[in-house]
Amino acid sequence: MKGIQKLQNKWGVGPGQFWLIILTFALGGSLSGRLCSKILNLLFLEKNWAFWLVYPLILTILWPFSVIFVSFFTGQFRFFKGYLGRVGGRLLGLGGEGKVGVTAVGAFAAPSTASAAPVHIAIFASGAGSNARKIIEYFEEGGARANAGSKGSGTLSTTAVPIKVSLIVSNVPGAGVLEIAKEKGIPTLMIKKDKFAATGYVESLHNAEIQFIVLAGFLWKVPEVLVRAYQPGMKIDGSNINGEANVSKGIINIHPALLPKYGGKGMYGSRVHEAVIAAGEKESGITIHWVNEHYDEGGIIYQATCAITPSDTPETLANKIHALEHAHFAPTIERVLS
């Protein structure tokens, strides 16, 4: 039982999915064995030394195709696509270490060349998901270039890299963000606190081909195991994408205040706005920053501000902050990924 639990934690799956994966392995192995025997029976009149010499080679070639075929019927195609990609990459030794630079406040990387394959991002959210919706729809519409073209104004994007929200991760059953994911046809992953702390669900994220993680109103602390796995430049597997190593591009968060003030454990939502107003601040804003092992202490990527008037309440300030989040979060993600 300990071995089973260890595999479940490594793959980041529950008991039901675990047994479907094991079933897929078994049926795929059986199918590849039968196909291999039929093929070799056509080539050899008897099972001599040559038959047994060729058998493991043909079986090895047929096995991944058989497993992928079976995975369609067991509903585990996404898992095995990622799993076989990583295993194949490790065996072939493909790819090298990539580097992604950290961006200073308000500054972004230089333009990059166009890519055929999109950057797959996961959005982690605990609540209604208004930021998640804005991000999803921004990239559905083609990002800054498409928005500038359709509105006749705005600044063109510095990147031609396509970006796709490929997974929504939540820790709250029934959260509004899950309804948004359903509406948009985006896969979801429900996570449990003990497993998240132990594994970070890294295997599940890799299986979903996630390269970049966005925290949009996610209330749990990100465990060190996930922070380490998604440091910019860390290998996701041994494969190449658009001629470059498949590496993670980091984890970012949005905070509803101007860090380093009003951050840290317990500072989220209305608590932040109440503290800002109680302190008599004349302005507040948003901070988009890299995520490390500590609450709200990662390097700052971008900040935007709004004025606080004497008549402002935590509720009216929250509305100003939401407007800034909706206006700046998705374009900042796009520019970071350039």
Question: Could you list the active site residues?
Answer: 255
Buried b (16+ CB within 10 A) or exposed e, 292-329: beebbebebbbbbebebeeebebeebbebbeebbeebb
- Please identify which residue in the block is written with the tokens 């302005």: 283
Report the C-alpha gap between 293 and 231 in whole angstroms: 11
Question: Reading across the β-sheet that carries 251-255, which strands appear in turn?
Answer: 188-190, 163-170, 119-124, 212-215, 251-255, 283-290, 300-307
Report the C-alpha gap between 254 and 322 in whole angstroms: 11
What DSSP state is assigned to residue 46? S
* CA angle centred on 147, ends 132 and 284, rounded to 5°: 55
Which DSSP string corresponds to 8-41? HHHHT--HHHHHHHHHHHHHHHHHHHHHHHHHHH
Report the C-alpha gap between 276 and 262 in whole angstroms: 7
Residue 300's DSSP bridge partners are: 289
Token pair recorded at residue 151: 């509105």
